[in-house]
Amino acid sequence: MQLPKSRRRQKLREKKCQYPGCDKIFYGIHISKYCAEHRQDRYRIRKRSRPENVNIKNQTIQHPYTEVTMTVMHCKLPGCDNQFEVKLYPRQFIYPKYCPEHRNEYKRIRHLQRIGREDLIEQMKCESDSVELEYGSGADVLGADDDMTDVA
């Protein structure tokens, strides 16, 4: 069987530029959307989403440790008094804010509904402020009874 040595040329058609506010008529193949001017990079519409704030579901703990250390943390969810252990790693500062029972957003909402705090559900969903914990006299290493202090 013999194969053709050249490709078939695509037909040029009259098309209307789909760039907002431009109604120029141009000749292009079936897939082209924009006129020659609006095909340039400076006219490309780039949609970028903002990076998610890590402090909404986690907390930042600034610590000076050079080896792995265990810490007892309290759950930050109102109405939950659970304590959980967290390993603090060197050069890592982002750790979970909630106990393992409330790490899931669905479980946090169910807990707030159960204790009758419907007002906190909307606040939690819209929360965007960051909470940073700094190592100091209030930080507790495994075995200490003090609570960690918030520094904002």
Cβ–Cβ < 8 Å for 60, 134: no
Residue ranges of domains in the chain: 13-43, 58-151
Q: Which pLDDT value is given to residue 46?
A: 79
Q: Check residue 3 and give its pLDDT.
A: 83
Residues 69, 60: contact at Cβ < 8 Å? no
Encoded amino acid at 2, one letter: Q
Tens digits of per-residue pLDDT, 77-120? 989 999 999 999 999 999 999 999 998 888 988 999 998 888 88
Angle between helices 105-114 and 118-126 (to 10 degrees): 150
Spans of the chain below 70 pLDDT? 127-152
Residue 109 carries which side chain, given as an amino acid letter? I
What is the pLDDT at residue 31?
A: 92
Q: What pLDDT does 137 receive?
A: 38
pTM of the model: 0.52
Q: Strand 132-134 vs strand 58-62: parallel, antiparallel, or unpaired?
A: parallel
Which ranges of the chain does DSSP label H, i.e. alpha helix?
105-114, 118-126
CA atoms within 13 A on the CB side of 67: 0
Cα-only R_g, the chain: 28
Residue 135 has a pLDDT of 47
129: which 2 tokens?
A: 């402020």
So what's the pLDDT on residue 73? 93
In this prediction, residue 26 carries a pLDDT of: 95
- Check residue 50 and give its pLDDT: 84
- Give residue 129's pLDDT: 41
Give pLDDT, residue 56: 82
